[in-house]
A and B are shown apart, each in its own frame.
Chain A
């Protein structure tokens, strides 16, 4: 067992533990905190995959923005769903069937693929070329179209979120 394998196993098991706690915990704030732990574990795995830029983007976007947004929303909707409610639906045992089926199907199909067990990396050792990524995102022969479409998506989400949660009775705030 090389040291990289040990680090991978630790990070992966910690992330899976945090993910299971997200699904199982009754109290919503604790579930949000476990989600932050899972996202941090995933950032560690991004670092092991030699993509240094996305480690920082994961912490910045997911933990710094999305997780805080989720915590705010949990606080705003806190009175009703707290300790005394059930956390799962009535037939929650049946949810194992699609989840387990998807898992088994994925692993079976991937294991029949010939490159499933490669250990050779083709990624550059010092992390990806951010300058090339930036140029590709704005060049017309590159990926400018998805870039512009996603900026329109973000604009629509911004306007939509404000419009949906606009409090008309209270005079608008």
Chain B
């Protein structure tokens, strides 16, 4: 393989030959390569977050009809570095009475749990951190550990409001985990394996064409799993009490902040890998670097959608959020999974266009049925049963409340 076509494996080969030439045992060389590779991946991920923050601030600024950062460096590219320097030099304030172990380890878990997901994502045709046969389960398990970062942070802060906010955040996370896990099953079902590289390889038509509704539910629930607007009730930045990271300052808060953006990008990576075909594209198998470029473009497009949602939607109230997941998303995702499994077995698999058409038709039918059902049964007045408000609204003949 040449350096241009497949740089990472080329460098790995060269390094392992060098280390073996120095006389180290092959087991130790493998372990050293893993350590160097994971260290490099984690460093690149953390440095990439600075570009992500810049990207987000520029786009949100443009949506809000302003420029975004444009002072520090050309087009404001070095703004994130300036922010990093500021956060590095801030004082770590530890409030009185904190439990030091949960307080200190919470940001580490929050960032570590996100970085661990990068180990199983296939970046190109032959570059995966670890080729786990149960990669999907690993991602779900690591998400469970990530929730513990929030619990530790809220509990260790010795602050009632931080604790309440942590519990609301964890309640939101575990509620949205149900449709999230169920929609993970759709690519697993359509490709027959839990290995992410196999799922990417099996996407002859992209899975977003085979299960568009499943992709939509996955997208929505993964935004809720990250905790971004419109689901960011737990750490709403414009509220008075900033959620479970209220007592954090300095680099610990920086870690939570970085973890948030990294998690958003990680879910757009997952969305691109699971539904948008990952590294697939013209000539991606022969020239792996092209696969990496395609993957990067697709995940940036997904991340752009995430930023668009953040910039344009108001946030949900906690009871609206819970209603949405338990009453709409969970039954819908169960229906989509079971119907996709049924129809996929009935349709002939060798006629590709029949399969795509049949599954898209199924998704359209489910969507229209859900829409009609919600119209009929989702009668939720905006205000509670308060007669004065209703009389006043009737008197002023303004039609409030949903129909």
A residues lining the B interface (CB < 8 Å): 29-30, 33, 36, 52-53, 56-57, 59-60, 63-65, 67-68, 71-72, 75, 127, 130
Q: Are B143 and A64 in contact (CB under 8 A)?
A: yes
Q: Are A56 and B141 in contact (CB under 8 A)?
A: yes
Contact residue among B133, B143, B148 (Cβ-Cβ distance under 8 Å from A127):
B133
Q: Are B155 and A52 in contact (CB under 8 A)?
A: no
* A-B residue pairs, 7 tightest by C-beta: A64-B144, A59-B141, A60-B141, A56-B137, A56-B141, A56-B134, A60-B140
Contact residue among A57, A59, A71, A127 (Cβ-Cβ distance under 8 Å from B145):
A59
Interface residue? B215 (CB, 8 A) = no
Q: Are A60 and B144 in contact (CB under 8 A)?
A: yes
Give every chain B residue within 8 A of A75 (Cβ-Cβ): 163, 167
Give every chain B residue within 8 A of A72 (Cβ-Cβ): 167, 170
- Complex interface residues of chain B between 2 and 42 (CB less than 8 A to chain A): none
- Tell me the minimal C-beta distance from B214 to chain A in angstroms: 21
Give every chain A residue within 8 A of B132 (Cβ-Cβ): 52
Bound Cα distance from A63 to B141, whole angstroms: 8
Contact residue among B99, B138, B167 (Cβ-Cβ distance under 8 Å from A56):
B138
Interface residue? B102 (CB, 8 A) = yes
Q: Are A68 and B151 in contact (CB under 8 A)?
A: yes
Main secondary structure on B side of the interface with A: helix
Interface residue? B174 (CB, 8 A) = yes
Bound Cα distance from A67 to B152, whole angstroms: 13
Contact residue among A52, A57, A60, A68 (Cβ-Cβ distance under 8 Å from B170):
A68
Give every chain A residue within 8 A of B145 (Cβ-Cβ): 59, 63-64
**17 interchain pairs, CB-CB under 8 A:** A30-B99, A33-B101, A52-B133, A53-B134, A56-B134, A56-B140, A57-B141, A60-B144, A64-B140, A64-B141, A64-B147, A68-B148, A68-B174, A71-B151, A72-B167, A130-B133, A130-B134
- Tell me the minimal C-beta distance from B20 to chain A in angstroms: 20
Main secondary structure on A side of the interface with B: helix
Q: Are B102 and A33 in contact (CB under 8 A)?
A: yes
B residues lining the A interface (CB < 8 Å): 99, 101-102, 132-134, 137-138, 140-145, 147-148, 151-152, 155, 163, 167, 170, 174, 194
Give every chain B residue within 8 A of A65 (Cβ-Cβ): 144, 174
Give every chain A residue within 8 A of B147 (Cβ-Cβ): 64, 68
Q: Are A63 and B148 in contact (CB under 8 A)?
A: yes
Contacts A29-B155, A53-B134, A65-B174 known; 12 new A-B pairs at CB < 8 A: A30-B99, A33-B101, A56-B134, A59-B145, A60-B140, A60-B141, A63-B148, A64-B143, A67-B148, A68-B147, A68-B148, A72-B170
Give every chain A residue within 8 A of B148 (Cβ-Cβ): 36, 63, 67-68
Q: Are B167 and A57 in contact (CB under 8 A)?
A: no
Give every chain A residue within 8 A of B102 (Cβ-Cβ): 33
Bound Cα distance from A162 to B172, whole angstroms: 18
- Tell me the minimal C-beta distance from B130 to chain A in angstroms: 11
**With A33-B102, A68-B170, A71-B151: A63-B133 Cβ-Cβ less than 8 Å:** no
Give every chain A residue within 8 A of B140 (Cβ-Cβ): 56, 60, 64
Give every chain B residue within 8 A of A67 (Cβ-Cβ): 148
Question: What is the chain A residue whose CB lies nearest that of B147?
Answer: A68
**Best-surrounded residue of A57, A64, A68, A130 (most CB of chain B within 10 A):** A64
Give every chain B residue within 8 A of A53 (Cβ-Cβ): 134, 137
Give every chain B residue within 8 A of A130 (Cβ-Cβ): 133-134, 194
Q: Are A52 and B144 in contact (CB under 8 A)?
A: no
- Tell me the minimal C-beta distance from A22 to chain B in angstroms: 15
Question: What is the chain A residue whose CB lies nearest that of B135?
Answer: A56
Q: Are B151 and A57 in contact (CB under 8 A)?
A: no
Bound Cα distance from A173 to B138, whole angstroms: 34
- Tell me the minimal C-beta distance from A158 to chain B in angstroms: 12
Give every chain B residue within 8 A of A56 (Cβ-Cβ): 134, 137-138, 140-141
Question: What is the chain B residue whose CB lies nearest that of A43?
Answer: B141
**With A65-B144, A68-B148, A68-B170: A60-B163 Cβ-Cβ less than 8 Å:** no
Give every chain A residue within 8 A of B142 (Cβ-Cβ): 59
- Tell me the minimal C-beta distance from B134 to chain A in angstroms: 6
- Tell me the minimal C-beta distance from B99 to chain A in angstroms: 8
Question: What is the chain B residue whose CB lies nearest that of A63?
Answer: B144
- Tell me the minimal C-beta distance from A79 to chain B in angstroms: 12
**With A52-B134, A68-B174, A130-B133: A59-B144 Cβ-Cβ less than 8 Å:** yes
Give every chain A residue within 8 A of B170 (Cβ-Cβ): 68, 72
Bound Cα distance from A52 to B132, whole angstroms: 9
Bound Cα distance from A53 to B134, whole angstroms: 7
- Tell me the minimal C-beta distance from A23 to chain B in angstroms: 19
Question: What is the chain B residue whose CB lies nearest that of A65?
Answer: B144
Give every chain B residue within 8 A of A63 (Cβ-Cβ): 141, 144-145, 148
- Tell me the minimal C-beta distance from B103 to chain A in angstroms: 12
Q: Are A60 and B174 in contact (CB under 8 A)?
A: no
Question: What is the chain A residue whose CB lies nearest that of B194?
Answer: A130
Bound Cα distance from A132 to B354, whole angstroms: 31
Bound Cα distance from A123 to B349, whole angstroms: 36
Question: What is the chain B residue whose CB lies nearest that of A40?
Answer: B145
Bound Cα distance from A130 to B137, whole angstroms: 12
